[in-house]
């Protein structure tokens, strides 16, 4: 039986500041060149750009989140694996996600995708795979609380079963 799907969104405040700065630049440029409605146009275009970037570049990640919400963990795992591959090959997109994706996420997409894969494994009763992946995540991202608590949960339940 699967648990309720945890949705965690940790915010990077420096990324928020960068995004606000980019937003102000948009407003200033459009406000300067189109005095009457430029600020409004700049705000709308910034919002549209943000939506398009966040919906198109991490497309596999979005598909994985949709599958997880539908409790289709096998499909979600495949999408998250594609996301890991994409962000492993394109590390610069993940590194500069505040500017490129206008994302204020504290966790990079690769790290999120790995955590989501481990979560899917735990929901499909593949505890050993989840445990191994959580351990891998903690080696790469030692401050990852999701992996830390996920691993502790698996260890707790496996100790009770023994």
pLDDT tens digit sequence for 26-48: 999 999 999 999 999 999 999 99
Specify the CATH architecture of the domain 59-97+104-161. Alpha Horseshoe (1.25)
Q: According to the model, what pLDDT value does residue 160 have?
A: 61
For tokens 């430029």, what's the residue?
38
Q: Is the pLDDT of residue 112 over 90?
A: yes
What's the confidence (pLDDT) of residue 155? 86
Domain residue spans of the chain: 11-56, 59-97+104-161
pTM strictly above 0.95: no
Query: Contact at 8 Å (CB) between 75 and 116?
Result: no
CB proximity list for 125: less than 8 A, separation 6 or greater = none
């Amino acid at each position: 039986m699967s648990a309720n799907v945890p949705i965690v969104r940790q915010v990077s405040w420096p990324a928020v500041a960068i995004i606000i700065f980019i937003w102000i630049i948009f407003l200033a440029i459009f406000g300067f060149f189109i005095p009457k409605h430029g600020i409004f146009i700049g705000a709308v275009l910034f919002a549209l750009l943000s939506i398009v970037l966040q919906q198109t570049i991490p497309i596999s990640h979005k598909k994985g989140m949709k599958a997880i919400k539908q409790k289709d963990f096998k499909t979600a795992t495949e999408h998250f694996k594609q996301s890991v591959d994409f962000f492993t090959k394109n590390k610069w997109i993940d590194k500069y996600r505040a500017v490129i994706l206008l994302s204020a996420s504290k966790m990079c997409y690769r790290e999120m995708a790995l955590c989501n894969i481990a979560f899917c494994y735990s929901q499909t009763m593949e505890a050993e795979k989840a445990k191994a992946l959580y351990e891998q995540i903690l080696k790469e991202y030692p401050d990852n609380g999701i992996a830390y608590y996920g691993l502790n949960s698996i260890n707790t339940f496996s100790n009770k079963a023994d």
